[in-house]
Chains A and B, each alone.
Chain A
């Protein structure tokens, strides 16, 4: 009798939670995975930040902002996103132009727009605005896209990407380009196009090389031979590999990483936090994090396939897969598979704007998903 009562209470609590989630248009599984990875991130950041507890609390505040933004956006009806896509895109590109003309130069690159109260990077907006614009354009047309539509979508992608690359912010430019191209591929871009594009990119390597800044070239060269620049760019790669490798299967223990705690590892709370996980929590920590990412991406893709129209599917797919690009580029860079590009580890690295942008993307995904069954 007593047990029955408590069981039904549990059931009631479960159904009440489900009802609340549905009312908020949130997806329980995705929310749980995001929360779990974020908590894991805060756990690691505490160690990576060392004495700097202010940094940790800053990130906690941003976590709050990120989840709030996600919950707020999840409640916005899906057609609003569709309607606002062109305007958002236009505004983002306009802001990029403003930055190019009047932006603040921070660390030698022109990225920031100072609005007096807040400074922000307009390129963050484009991470969402570009795929949404591409999807908006494609959803009105029959898919797979006709060659003419492909060209127009490519133009939509190229304009902001060039503006961002010019700042210069190669990392963000790559992410924005990836977000747009994913929409195109998910929309059914023919394999011939894709193969041609890959071939073209291969051919364009010398050309791109020509336009890279010296420090960017250095990073690519450094990947091939880290010892060639042991003081500069190579230092990051050498130290992060030592950190990961010395961690072993079980790691040296939380807050016990010598590489991280003795400050051999640069940027350990931001771009190179993946190495801190590898050193302190070992292979198990890395695999756990990667599993969390896989779950988020898988769930996101599944939600996208369930959406009712092409716009929602394409945006949803792009959000889920761009998240993966983040994770892969960062992990690849820290483990020495890819050149050093300033891309943070999603949900874990210290840093405000990119975290909020990611959560905004998941908010949009949840909104699109929750509208799926309303029309027969």
Chain B
């Protein structure tokens, strides 16, 4: 028999009352517990805590860890830690912060325009933390501090390990730099880990590998008096003071070859641009140069506001990482890849001849796509000759036959339109255009129609197509290995300096490209070798003792009218075309693949190809010693 329960308000009220009384009892007991705890702390242990708070007490002093050292592929130190004098301020001991900063300004230890930034920085950290305000003082500044020391309470001169880049601007865009921790940095990192550490990786490898490089901080307790000054510990009190040693960060072995990097940067001879050189067999980046460069030691030293503004307002944009973030039309450098796509989709045979009469028009259109070659025509050209002479008409036609979708698909497989995945942050992916892309890229989606004319110029690497130097280097290396791409990387191994443990980073192969006919690789590579023996880059490759497979290119900065002639001299330097060159060598079994861009350099053959040649010579030829 099931008992049916009905609501009984009197019972419920009684139960509630009973429970309320029990609850009140528990509340009272717990309040007594808290009061008892307060009594214990404030009455019974009062003397002990008064001593802690007023008399001598242990102040915690951080022991910052040594930052990991960067070595290039030959074991040369490219970023190290050197002892330097650093000026630090402890807010709670400095009295009025604004006055303290003003005094520092008066004594020439802080630039007036830096005061607001430093003030925010100091306020954003805990009051008992020592906040660095000037990172690497020179002798004169140290002397000035010594003179005014008594007027600067809470400001201390400490010897700290500071970051130093022995090669200066060489490779700065790859290495990146460290700088004072800003408020923004504090938002994204765990503050506790930076207790006592004044700097943080800002860009490049220093930023991407921050977690590995940083290490773990330690601390030690020091006895201080009521004013916070350190005092000698009496009668063995040292034994009670704890010291926890810091653990250094891991050292990095890079793929960069800093001497090759220097050769590459010097070959630019003051021009703007960028160059990437990779080992096709594993994706190791040996050269990663963006020019003009800057001196990362300036940041590590604590760059002043005016110094920073000078860098950002320089029209040559030295802080802009052209390799990682510069996207340029790839121009004719992609013609070998287009030819390969034509062969793969079987829309053209190597021997098929096209007549170049100096311009190309789509069927039923009068718009003429021009051939920039001086003198106008190439006459009849087959695939080999079209690549060698960089005949635009041939590739206009090929692009039209392939159609944009097939171009997009094959180029996307080569890595265009997406970041290469290199192991530093901020890489851009460029644009590999397609009808779908166009719909999403502009307003009024449904009205975005792909025009056949847009396909034609994509055929010579212009139009909407933009690529990064990393993508070009990766695609060039892919031709060199005949189909096996690797993710580019800057770090080969991590080394624990304490144990000597080495963690090797394996090369990261990407899905390979299988051609239906493997001999197509050689058809393309042969044509690229012809470029450097009798084609557009013959002059730059003259006298080389190894074979180079290359391709020149020019990226249009502004477009030329239908009937005008492009005259290099008349065009202002900033509006000149960008010069491009991609190559790998030795052609038969490449050890290095290179992509070069010289901004406003004009034609690729004269400006960019010699830079690649200089790199190849330095890397492939035995050292003359």
How far is it, in angstroms, between the C-alpha of A227 and the C-alpha of B60 when the chains are bound?
Answer: 11
How far is it, in angstroms, between the C-alpha of A336 and the C-alpha of B30 when the chains are bound?
Answer: 14
Contact between chains at A242 and B53 (CB < 8 Å):
yes
Contact between chains at A331 and B34 (CB < 8 Å):
yes
Contact between chains at A241 and B38 (CB < 8 Å):
no
A248 CB-CB contact with B under 8 Å: yes
Q: How far is the CB of A194 from chain B (nearest CB, A)?
A: 11
Chain A residues with Cβ below 8 Å from B53 are 242-243, 245-246, 258-259, 264
Which of B28, B38, B43, B52 has the most A CB atoms < 10 Å from its CB? B38
- Please, which residue of chain B has its CB at the minimum distance from the CB of A140? B7
Given A232-B192, A247-B42, A290 and B23 contact (CB-CB distance below 8 Å): no
Chain A residues with Cβ below 8 Å from B52 are 242, 245-246
How far is it, in angstroms, between the C-alpha of A242 and the C-alpha of B601 when the chains are bound?
Answer: 69
Q: How far is the CB of A224 from chain B (nearest CB, A)?
A: 16
Checking A188, A248, A313 against B46 with a beta-carbon cut-off of 8 angstroms, the contacting residue is A248
B127 CB-CB contact with A under 8 Å: yes
Contact between chains at A248 and B42 (CB < 8 Å):
yes
B498 CB-CB contact with A under 8 Å: no
**For window 31-81 of chain B, which residues contact chain A by CB distance below 8 Å?**
31, 33-35, 37-39, 41-43, 45-46, 48-50, 52-54, 60, 62
Checking A286, A317, A321 against B38 with a beta-carbon cut-off of 8 angstroms, the contacting residue is A286
Chain A residues with Cβ below 8 Å from B39 are 283
Chain B residues with Cβ below 8 Å from A264 are 53, 92, 128
Q: Which bracket fits the contact residues of A?
A: 35 or more
Contact between chains at B27 and A144 (CB < 8 Å):
no
Q: What 1/0 mask marks residues of chain B from 1 to 15 whose CB sits below 8 Å from any chain A CB?
A: 000011111011101
How far is it, in angstroms, between the C-alpha of A328 and the C-alpha of B5 when the chains are bound?
Answer: 38
Contact between chains at B49 and A188 (CB < 8 Å):
no
Stretch in contact with the other chain, from A73-81, A94-102, A297-305: A297-305
The total of chain B residues at the interface (CB under 8 A) is: 49
A16 CB-CB contact with B under 8 Å: no
Contact between chains at B41 and A244 (CB < 8 Å):
yes
Chain A residues with Cβ below 8 Å from B30 are 324, 328
Given A249-B43, A321-B27, A286 and B35 contact (CB-CB distance below 8 Å): yes
**For window 115-142 of chain A, which residues contact chain B by CB distance below 8 Å?**
141-142
Contact between chains at B34 and A337 (CB < 8 Å):
yes
Given A258-B54, A298-B24, A186 and B34 contact (CB-CB distance below 8 Å): no
Chain B residues with Cβ below 8 Å from A283 are 38-39, 42-43
Given A246-B46, A297-B27, A305 and B192 contact (CB-CB distance below 8 Å): no
A332 CB-CB contact with B under 8 Å: yes
How far is it, in angstroms, between the C-alpha of A263 and the C-alpha of B90 when the chains are bound?
Answer: 12
How far is it, in angstroms, between the C-alpha of A286 and the C-alpha of B128 when the chains are bound?
Answer: 27
Chain A residues with Cβ below 8 Å from B60 are 230-231
How far is it, in angstroms, between the C-alpha of A301 and the C-alpha of B41 when the chains are bound?
Answer: 31
Given A264-B128, A301-B24, A245 and B41 contact (CB-CB distance below 8 Å): yes
Given A248-B46, A283-B38, A321 and B126 contact (CB-CB distance below 8 Å): no
Given A230-B219, A263-B127, A305-B17, A337 and B12 contact (CB-CB distance below 8 Å): no
Chain B residues with Cβ below 8 Å from A331 are 34
Contact between chains at A332 and B24 (CB < 8 Å):
no
Contact between chains at A186 and B20 (CB < 8 Å):
yes
Q: How far is the CB of B32 from chain A (nearest CB, A)?
A: 9
Contact between chains at B49 and A294 (CB < 8 Å):
no
Chain B residues with Cβ below 8 Å from A335 are 34, 37-38, 41
Q: How far is the CB of B390 from chain A (nearest CB, A)?
A: 51
Q: What 1/0 mask marks residues of chain A from 171 to 206 whose CB sits below 8 Å from any chain B CB?
A: 000000000001001111000000000000000000
Checking A230, A317, A324, A336 against B20 with a beta-carbon cut-off of 8 angstroms, the contacting residue is A317
Which of B27, B33, B60, B195 has the most A CB atoms < 10 Å from its CB? B27
Chain A residues with Cβ below 8 Å from B355 are none
Checking A143, A287, A321 against B15 with a beta-carbon cut-off of 8 angstroms, the contacting residue is A143
A88 CB-CB contact with B under 8 Å: no
Q: What 1/0 mask marks residues of chain A from 292 to 315 whose CB sits below 8 Å from any chain B CB?
A: 011001100100110001100110
Contact between chains at A142 and B34 (CB < 8 Å):
no
How far is it, in angstroms, between the C-alpha of A38 and the C-alpha of B589 when the chains are bound?
Answer: 80
Contact between chains at A332 and B20 (CB < 8 Å):
no
A168 CB-CB contact with B under 8 Å: no
Chain A residues with Cβ below 8 Å from B195 are 231
Q: How far is the CB of B224 from chain A (nearest CB, A)?
A: 12
- Please, which residue of chain A has its CB at the minimum distance from the CB of B32? A290
Contact between chains at B7 and A287 (CB < 8 Å):
no
Contact between chains at B35 and A287 (CB < 8 Å):
yes
Chain B residues with Cβ below 8 Å from A287 are 35, 38
A54 CB-CB contact with B under 8 Å: no
How far is it, in angstroms, between the C-alpha of A309 and the C-alpha of B10 when the chains are bound?
Answer: 10
How far is it, in angstroms, between the C-alpha of A309 and the C-alpha of B246 when the chains are bound?
Answer: 64
Q: How far is the CB of B473 from chain A (nearest CB, A)?
A: 36
Contact between chains at A231 and B42 (CB < 8 Å):
no
Given A246-B50, A246-B53, A301 and B23 contact (CB-CB distance below 8 Å): yes
Checking A186, A245, A324 against B42 with a beta-carbon cut-off of 8 angstroms, the contacting residue is A245
Q: Please, could you name 29 A-B residue pairs with CB atoms under 8 Å apart, sorted by A?
A: A142-B8, A144-B15, A227-B242, A230-B60, A231-B192, A231-B217, A242-B53, A244-B49, A245-B41, A248-B42, A258-B53, A258-B54, A259-B53, A263-B91, A264-B53, A283-B43, A286-B42, A287-B35, A297-B27, A298-B24, A298-B27, A301-B24, A310-B9, A313-B12, A317-B16, A317-B20, A324-B27, A335-B38, A337-B34
12 additional contacts, CB 8 Å, given A245-B45, A246-B53? A143-B7, A230-B60, A231-B62, A231-B217, A231-B219, A244-B41, A245-B50, A263-B126, A287-B38, A304-B20, A313-B13, A337-B33
Pairs of residues from A and B, 4 with the lowest C-beta to C-beta distance, nearest first: A245-B49, A263-B127, A246-B53, A188-B15
